[in-house]
Amino acid sequence: MAQSRTAIVILGASGDLAKRKLIPALETLYAQNKIDDTNVIIGSGRSEFSDEDFRGLFEVCEGFAKLLHYHTGLDGMKEYIKSQGDFDRIVFFFSLPPRVYADTARELVAQGFGEESSIIIEKPFGHDYPSSVDLNKEITKYFGEHQIYRIDHYLGKETVQNMMVFRFANSIFEPIWNSRYIESIQISAFETIGTEGRAQYFDNAGIIRDMAQNHLMQLLCLVTMEPPITLEADDVRLAKTNVLRTLTIEECHRWQYEGYRNEEGVAPESETETYAELRMRVNNYRWNRVPIFMRTGKYMPRKGTEIGIQFRKLPRLLFNDMGDLAANKIVIRIQPDEGIFIDMQNKVPGTDQTLQQTHMKYTYRDAFENEEIPEAYQRLLLDVLRGDQTLFVSGQETEMSWKLFSGFLDTGEVSIYRRGKVPQSRFAVDWIDFDDY
């Protein structure tokens, strides 16, 4: 897609997100000649900075620093942007608390911004189903859906983008991607850390809101959706919403790590979960007999996000006459050490018929050792500049996902688990041991 002359305005530009993610991503795009001096990057916030003071907040190269400017608040922003040049589009990144999204959108329209403008907002898109409906209703009073980019940074990860290629560009996989061959789908996202300075936010959210309802649901949709008609944003979004229409959550169990209530910012009687596991099912012809298991938590023994495809066992014939032959698996590792692993049986050399399960291993770093794996925000910000919404979440998706979790948020017993140990599962499932990959 062609890229137009764009002014990029970061609202809340002196915050942590701009320093850690946004400015480094934009500088990388500049180094790759994907943005240049026809673009301008304007920071905005309540603090007062000169351009030089603002540039001094970041460790960036001299050429890129010249693109950085600062304007205090929104009053007079339209005139200020005009003073910087003639731009086809203006993109506003809301590096702001979600509670002010609607008010900020209203203020932008009051300042005279219209069809030439787009807004980028970060999760959480609401706190539950009613609040997500209200938020979308408020924002779309001022900006059309085609102007709104809802970021889920998981969609910017290369392995996530590769999931459609893996499924739909390889004829050996698509014919077996259904309930006839697949026994279960397992999605796992573990962190080895706790709340890490986010306790006040996290205690009002919990791991289901923070991870399951958004990031992991996007992974679920991509791994189970039907082939979209095209790769256009509307067709990909339709394929994902069709999954959400047929998805049901059958069970949800919650845990909290030992000592969580003693952390600063956590309520003494908090019932917030830091670990959860769910069983779901997509009720369509492709997946009608396949349970989908999801688990995510903090203070786990390892860090990683993976999708496991557990295939059905062979009948008790030939090499499996005892019924103990391990089933095939496909493991898609989202992070870290992105890659895909396929388990298969092979004959041990020098034996009569001794079989051993072996991995067929593909990793991004090995396959593309001379290529840089872009950070998620690089791809997402570039897509905004191009006007491509494919990797962004629609308002309909956010509302449908929240609605699925109605009745499972903040409800049910919260058990305690030890830090560094995965709780005993409540489901009768052999979880794939992702440590093996």
Burial string for 257-294 (b: 16+ CB within 10 Å, else e) reads beebbeeeebeeebebbbbbbbbbbbebebbeebbbbb
Region for 149 from its dihedrals, namely left if φ exceeds 0, alpha if ψ lies in -120 to 50, beta otherwise: beta
Other Cβ atoms closer than 10 A to 380: 23
Out of 69, 71, 153, 215, which one is annotated catalytic? 215
CB 118 within 8 A of CB 139: no
Other Cβ atoms closer than 10 A to 314: 15
Burial string for 169-199 (b: 16+ CB within 10 Å, else e) reads eeeeeeeebbeeebbbbbbbbbbeebbeeeb
Closest CA to 244 of 411, 140, 399: 399
CB 331 within 8 A of CB 307: yes
- Annotated catalytic, 215? yes
CB 295 within 8 A of CB 426: no
Which stretches does DSSP call E strand in 46-177?
Answer: 68-72, 89-94, 117-122, 148-151
Closest CA to 383 of 12, 91, 18, 86: 91
The residues that are catalytic are 215
